[in-house]
Amino acid sequence: MTDRSATATIKGYFYQFDQTIVRLLEATKHGSITVEGVEDIDLDDGNESAFVQCKYYEGTEYNHSVIKEAVIHMLRHFHAADCSSDQVFRYRLHGHYRGGQHKLKLPLTDEFLKEHFLTYTRDKLVHKVHEELAITDGQLAAFRALLDIDVNALSYDDQQAKMFRLLEAEIQECTASDAQSFFYPMAINVVQELAINADEAKRKITKDQFLKAINRKDVVFSAWLREHLGREYFARMIRRKYFYFGRTKMPKASRFFVIEMGDEYEVDKASRDTPRIS
């Protein structure tokens, strides 16, 4: 993998994580999300419930082939759930692309869906997924009614700006600086930990649990996250954690460090090292 493609892949993961945070912050009090469930984000929140898949291609134009596999996966899930027209969860494709959005004609028709999303060729053999699953016209219409495709999703930076505003709105006394340097890294850590859990049941979190998890000061800032966000973010977090007390900043003259040297230490060495770390 080239450096450029690796960077794009990492950015895609963070775009998905940021979208997860946005969905949680926009949810109602009792809303919840399962990370990496049926889709990237499984939102369980009444009428807003949806299986959401994220696509981030800032350097690529939109083509139907980019989301074809995702649509097929969603239809297979719908079929496995007995093609119920009363299904609460919608299917949502949330994607950002460099251009080409005009190629997608909305609202979708059954014929467009069949031709561009449910038909593919493999080993010179044409596959029509709707026929292989024996989907009736009525069932396909029910699936289409549950399918939302957004190819004009916010850019990486615009989505982050929206997320920071939501953090400020949802967390008491959260400033713009707090949102970026403290609560956002905490939120990313929470989502990352959910994503890597092998037990799907443990990848679920409610909005209330999420807000409690990120609104604390015992920050665990992984080397991986520091590498992504940069040392400046890390420095701001440390400053907030140790030198900020509510709305009153501790005077510089009142700050001190206690350094444990062990039972035995060399006075000369300690004297030389103290100026270096002060």
Is residue 240 situated within a structural domain? no
pLDDT higher at 43 or 174? 43
Structure-token match 């251009």, residue found: 99
Q: How confident is the model at residue 220 (pLDDT cuts 50, 70, 90)?
A: very low
pLDDT higher at 59 or 267? 59
Q: Phi and psi at residue 56, in whole multiples of 5°?
A: -130, 110
State pLDDT tens for residues 28-40: 998 999 999 999 9
> Angle formed by the axes of helices 3-26 and 156-170, to 10°?
30
Is residue 190 situated within a structural domain? no
Is residue 100 situated within a structural domain? yes
142/137 Cα distance (integer angstroms): 9
What is the tally of structural domains in the chain?
1
Is residue 205 situated within a structural domain? no
The boundaries of the domain holding residue 57 are 3-150
Is residue 219 situated within a structural domain? no
Is residue 159 situated within a structural domain? no
Rounded mean pLDDT, 14-35: 97
pLDDT of res. 85: 83
State pLDDT tens for residues 76-105: 999 999 998 889 999 999 999 999 999 999
Is residue 36 situated within a structural domain? yes
Q: Is 126 exposed, middle or buried (0-12, 13-18, 19+ CB in 10 A)?
A: exposed
pLDDT of res. 8: 77
Element spanning 140, H or E: helix 137-146
Is residue 119 situated within a structural domain? yes
For the entire predicted model, the pTM comes to 0.77
